Amino acid sequence: MSSYLALNSIHTMAAYLTVVLFSLRLLLDAVGRPNWRETPLRWIPHANDTVLLLAAISLLFVTPWMPFVHGWLTAKIFLLVGYIVAGMFAMKETRSLRVRVIASVLALVQITAIFHLAVNKPF
């Protein structure tokens, strides 16, 4: 039980932090500060996302939840892939503004859906 609480807390904190770090990078690009790519902000989100995923996989060992058995979790994994792909397009300086704006919105919609599924487990 205590490992569940610890892992869930780490996972949840990293989940909130991924949104904050993603939004911060979008904001910095939007205000013309693309040089965040030469700061620790370049690797901190990747480190956080690694923690997020390691805690997620660990949670599977201490809870009864199973991908491809429990629908909310399966949907979460597919949305995670979508979030990663959209996030990559959103961050790419070489993409057009139109593509980056659409990708940013898609990424934020998908991460919102992931939170909804994680908290409410509707199916």
Q: Please report, as ranges, the residues that interact with ligand HEM according to CB under 6 A.
A: 8, 11-12, 15, 18, 52, 56-57, 59-60, 63, 65, 67, 73, 76-77, 80, 83, 111, 114-115, 118-119
In contact, 121 and 76? CB cutoff 8 Å = no
Which is nearer to ligand HEM, 56 or 100 (by Cβ)?
A: 56
Q: Which is nearer to ligand HEM, 100 or 108 (CB)?
A: 108
Shortest Cβ 122–ligand HEM spacing (Å): 13
The one-letter amino acid at 79? L
Q: How far apart are CA 62 and CA 46, in angstroms?
A: 25
Smallest gap from Cβ 107 to ligand HEM, in A, equals 10
| DSSP type of residue 38 | G
Mention every residue, 6+ apart, whose C-beta is less than 8 A from residue 106.
82, 86
